Amino acid sequence: MARPDTSTGSAAVDPESPEAEPGTPVAEQEQAAVDDHLGQIADLAQDGHTDVLRRLGKESALAMLQQMVEIRHFEQMAYLRYLQAEIPGTLHQSQGQEAVAVGVCQPLRRTDWITSTHRPHGHALAKGMRPDVAMAEIYGREPGALGGRGGSMHLGDPDLGILPSIAIVGGGITIAPGLAMALQHHGTDGVVACFFGDGASNEGAFHEGVNYAAVKRLPVVFVCENNLYGASTPFHETTLNVDIAARGASYGIPSEQVDGMNVLAVVAAMERAVQRARAGEGATLLECLTYRYVGHSRGDARGYRTKQEEQFWKDRDPIEQLRRALVDAGVASTEEADEAVGRAKVVIKDAVAFAQQAPKAPSETAVAPSAVLAAPPRPQTIGAPLADGPEDRRLSIAEALREGIREEMAADADVVLLGEDVGVPGGFGGAFGIYLGLAEEFGRSRVIDTPISEKAIMGVSIGAGIAGMKPLPDLQYADFVFEGMDELVNEAAKLRYMSGARLSVPMVLRCPVGATQRGAQHAQCPESFFMHVPGLKVLCISDPYTAKGGIRAALRDPDPVLVFEHKLLYGSKKRQEAGSIDTRAYVPPDEYITEVGQARLRRPGTDVTVLATFTQLYAALSLADELEREGISIEVIDPVWLAPFDWESLYESVGRTRRLVVAHEAHRTGGWGAEVAARVGEHLFDRLAAPVRRVATKDVPMPFAPWLESAVLPSTEELATAIRDVAGQDRPAAAARTDQTDTSREAVDG
Amino acid sequence: MAEAIIMPELGQTVSGGTITTWLVPVGGTIELGDPLLVVETDKTELEVESVAEGTVLRHCFPEGTEVESGTVIAYIGEDGEEVPTS
Ligand SMILES: Cc1ncc(C[n+]2csc(CCOP(=O)(O)OP(=O)(O)O)c2C)c(N)n1
Ligand SMILES: [Mg+2]
């Protein structure tokens, strides 16, 4: 059933693929699909692979037997203790699938990586996690692998090459190529085994991740555990072509269907795949036919399948098969096999006892800032206004970004750029030409052109960051960030926390924002979304000094940073947009970095604080002189970082001016200004002379025509009106109206 | 020491269930993971596996009783061990 290596040519569809005759009734088609699957496993099982047994020898074979029994007992004991309400949450168990976990991990080294799923116990144990540490984690106890912050669905240990398992179906498939890229970049022959289910093969992540690994010849073995069901849904009900291995041909990589009930068959297939990967020949897809004996998760009565079907698979029990094969081949005696089984039972009994008596993870560890971010926020004082300097060092944001990125790339070989159209000779030099010249200088292995696969771009960056690189992916337009939202929000932001602070995810994602007459899908300012997500840092670049120092700070930061840059502010020579704003400013030639989480004072003032980014920052600055003449002195602050946010600097300013206007091009509702208004209300209510005002884009998708676009965007006049309005209000400060404080609070709250 | 067996959280939507059948009588022996009783929940019948091994010392409820999850429903331990009676 092995499929040929198709990487050199296009492969025809397998003529034996189980597509039913047209016109066959659906029920019969379905039955045919199931029968076909059962037939396939029976065919595959004809080869017992006893040669593998002899090659491995007695010790390894008995170790595999013991490991499979440990996994079986681990799962059963966990379930039983779960029934006794000792284990919180839920469990997904893998009884029946042990041969896949053990066979896949058999040829792997400690320094190789695995990625796993919501059903990870077997994978983690097979890759070397101690059962007591794994069990303690499932119990939520302090000595658990992840200090109780991960649990059953996120088992992992970076030191053992086990990525905290990802419970988003298909989530690991885009990350595995990134881990593999780092292994390759660092000159090792390491490999990554990526486990996922049949159900996951229908996620978009499968397509993007497998194609990426294939085209970049990355050392990944994609291991599909086809257990016929995604939760209660039979695979054939959701998939017309149930032959998952056939998909290898679509990506030009070799693939194989494997008897996943025979650990020897899995070892044999995995050895072939690993050998290719270590030799630099790229990725392989293995479809392991297997079955989970138990329900999908707790409380699954398995009403969707028959007892006969379950028996069919139990008759192929992987543990019994290996035990028999060992003895029949004369590799070990019955007594030796029994001893291995006995040892496994003791190990698991001890693991349960260990977990039961282990202390619970203390609650303060749940909220420790260092659990969320590898570099938690530090107290800041506001950054000084931009300095002047010689004319030849007055740079645009585009030039300053390129200079900062160039310096970091020169200083650190682990910094790589990834994106669409970034390095192709004669191509675009990245969106808005920011990367022009970098591919020539650093080579195309550091300026990496990717498929148009935003999920893969994010996932690869996450994996590479975890494994020691400093990836700088970019999006041509920030609007495309939603394609990679799962990777950013569920993986990049959370993997550190899920790992019990055992790893961090350094990556810097550049996102160009802002309306430039391109309509609703090339105009958004989505930065506020990410302020809502613990674990992410959000940088908004509105000036050249920050562009260079900020991008360098971001690249040196151990946490994921999203960098938002406004298209009208770039001052890029290659692409001048209508309505561009000249933001040129002095950028020192030295290798400075700016503070993460520090706001910048752009103009001091006394009457109204205006907090603004991007176009609105420049609108505020353009109004300042005129308002000054009217007797209104505005203090203009650029928050620079939305996360971590420089609250102290803002409170200090608003405490003095007692008035705040927030202006952003992001939509009004749920925009970052809403959070600012709420916080300032909570902290400075008694000091405020006027309500906090927001000036923002109307809650309307961005239209294309310039005359319609300007009706949706905030205007300079709107901003001026808001500032004049709050300047004209003078609600007495609390100190001057002690007796009224309570009633005014009620009025506001009500 | 005897283990107090509790009614597990079985259904996705309901808490507890009705004990329809005790599969091992008081005085009978049971292995870890063997079916101990049948519970009806969410209109389906589920076999509940034994979380302990030894002798079934007591059934706390007769068949047909509806029991909240978390309630002690049986004791399993060594033959002749004393267990609470209420
Ligand atoms: C993106 C996403 N969608 C849905 C779910 C809910 N879910 C959890 S496991 C599962 C079934 C997965 O099936 P498969 O990939 O075949 O893995 P198996 O459970 O069979 O090991 C589903 C639908 C999820 N966790 N993530
Ligand atoms: Mg499945």
pLDDT digits (tens, 9 = 90+) for A152-173: 999 999 999 999 999 999 999 9
Q: State in Å: Cα A93 to ligand 1 middle.
A: 13
pLDDT of residue A749: 30
Query: A696, A556 in Cβ contact below 8 A?
Result: no
pLDDT at A578: 82
Contact flag B51-A80 (C-beta cutoff 8 Å): yes
What CATH number did the domain enclosing B66 receive?
2.40.50.100
Going by their DSSP bridges, the two strands A585-586 and A560-566 should be labelled as unpaired
Chain A residues whose CB is inside 8 A of the B31 CB are: none
Q: Do A85 and B70 touch (CB under 8 A)?
A: yes
Give which of A587, A583, A589 is closest to A565, Cα–Cα.
A583
Residue type, A213: A
pLDDT of res. B15: 81
Interface of A with B (CB under 8 A): 76-77, 79-85, 298-299, 301, 303
Using a CB–CB cutoff of 8 Å, tell me whether B14 touches chain A: no
Task: Encode pLDDT of A417-459 as tens digits.
Answer: 999 999 999 998 888 889 999 999 999 999 999 999 999 999 9
Closest CA to A183 of A122, A242, A109: A109
Shortest-distance ligand to the CA of residue A226: 2
Which residue among A118, A119, A232 has the greatest number of ligand 1 atoms within 8 angstroms of its CB, and so is best to mutate?
A118
- List, as ranges, residues 28-57 from B with C-beta within 8 Å of A: 32-33, 41-42, 44-46, 48-51
Among chain A residues, the shortest Cα distance to B10 is held by A299
Residue (of A604, A599, A730, A606) closest to A672 by Cα position: A599
pLDDT of the residue at A30: 63
A53-67, A619-633, B32-46, B61-75: least confident range:
B32-46
End-to-end CA distance of chain A: 71
Confirm whether B33 is domain-assigned: yes
Phi, psi of A612 (to 5 degrees): -150, 155
**pLDDT band of B10, cuts 50, 70, 90:** confident
Concatenate the DSSP letters of all residues of chain B into one string. -PEEEE-----SS-S-EEEEEESS-TT-EE-TTSEEEEEEETTEEEEEEPSS-EEEEEESS-TT-EE-TTSEEEEEESTT------
If you write DSSP's letter for every residue of A536-577 in order, what string do you get?
Answer: -EEEEE-SHHHHHHHHHHHHH-SSEEEEEEEGGG---SS-PP
The residue contributing the CA closest to ligand 1 atom 20 is A230
Rounded Cα–Cα distance for residues A284 and A266 (Å): 13
Q: How far is the CA of A458 from the centre of ligand 1 (A)?
A: 21
Which one is predicted more confidently, B85 or A275? A275
pLDDT (0 to 100) of residue A321: 97
Cα-flanking dihedrals φ and ψ of residue A634, to 5°? -100, 145
Over residues A641-651, the pLDDT tens digits come to 999 999 999 99
Atom of ligand 1 nearest to the CA of A225: 21
Task: Give catalytic residue positions of A.
Answer: 522
B84 falls within a domain: no
Domains and CATH numbers, chain A: 28-359 (3.40.50.970), 391-586 (3.40.50.970), 601-745 (3.40.50.920)
In Å, how far from its chain's centre is CA A342? Answer: 41
Retrieve residue B78's tokens.
């060594």
Q: How buried is residue A15: exposed, middle or buried, by Cβ count under 10 Å (0-12/13-18/19+)?
A: exposed
Residue to mutate among B9, B13, B43, B68, with most A CBs inside 10 A, is: B9
- Summary mean pLDDT of chain B: 90
The pair of three-digit structure tokens given for residue A452, joined into one six-digit string: 């148009």
Q: Return the SS3 of A157.
A: strand
**Residues in A touching B70 (Cβ below 8 Å):** 85
Residue B40 lies in a domain: yes
Report the alpha-carbon distance of residue A118 to residue A113 in Å, rounded. 17
The more confidently predicted of residues A16 and A122 is: A122
Task: Return left, alpha or beta for A597; rule: phi > 0 is left, psi -120 to 50 is alpha, else beta.
Answer: left
Asked whether A525 and A538 are in contact (CB, 8 A), the reply is no
Percentage of chain A with pLDDT > 70? 93
The mean per-residue pLDDT over the stretch A471-491 comes to: 98
Residue B85 lies in a domain: no
- Sequence-distant contacts of A8-11: CB under 8 A, at least 24 apart: A10/A249, A10/A252, A11/A249
Q: Are A714 and A696 in contact (CB under 8 A)?
A: yes
Q: Which single residue is written with the structure tokens 């298209």? A: A567
Answer for the pair B38, B32: CB distance below 8 angstroms, yes or no. Answer: no
* A623 contacts A716 by C-beta, under 8 angstroms: yes
pLDDT of residue A515: 96
Tens digits of residue pLDDT in A687-717: 999 999 999 999 999 999 999 999 999 999 9
Residue where the block lists tokens 């496994």: A344
Backbone φ and ψ of A248, nearest 5°:
-50, -40
Q: Which of B12, B32, B49 sits opposite A299 (nearest CB)?
A: B12
Total tally of structural domains belonging to chain B = 1
Size of interface A-B (CB pairs under 8 A): 38
Euclidean distance between CA atoms A383 and A389, whole angstroms: 17
The secondary structure element, H or E, covering residue A97 is none
Structure tokens at A731: 């609600």
Say how many Å lie between the first and final Cα of chain B, rounded.
Answer: 18
Domain boundaries, position B47 = 3-77
Which residues are CB-contacts of A168 (< 8 A; sequence separation ≥ 6)? A486, A490, A491
> What is the Å distance from ligand 1's center to A214 Cα?
24
Q: Report chain A's mean pLDDT, rounded to a whole number.
A: 93
Say if residue A5's pLDDT is above 90.
no
Is B54 contained in some domain? yes
Interface pTM, i.e. ipTM: 0.81
User: Are A83 and B11 a contacting pair at CB < 8 A?
Assistant: no
* Structural domain includes residue B59: yes
Pairing type for strands B66-67 and B44-49 reads: unpaired
The SS3 of residue A69 is: helix
pLDDT of residue A23: 52
Banded model confidence at residue A606, pLDDT cuts 50, 70, 90: very high
Q: Of the candidates B33, B42, B45, which has its C-beta nearest A80's C-beta?
A: B33
Q: Shortest CA distance to B40 belongs to which of B62, B70, B20? A: B20
A468: Cα within 13 Å, side-chain hemisphere: 15
* Residue of B10, B32, B51 lying closest to A299 (CB–CB): B10
Distances (CA, A) of A354 to A52, A162, A358, A510: 36, 22, 6, 46
Q: Is residue B86 part of a domain?
A: no
Q: Which residues, judged by CB distance below 6 Å to any ligand atom, belong to the binding site of ligand 1?
A: A 118-119, 167-169, 197-200, 225, 227, 229-231, 296
The answer to whether residues A223 and A502 touch, using CB atoms and an 8 Å cutoff, is no
User: Which token pair is A694?
Assistant: 């927001």
Q: Is residue B14 part of a domain?
A: yes
Residue A569 has pLDDT above 90, yes or no: yes
Q: Is the pLDDT of residue B81 over 80?
A: yes
Rounded-to-integer distance, Cα A215 and Cα A205, Å: 15
| Number of residues assigned to chain B | 86
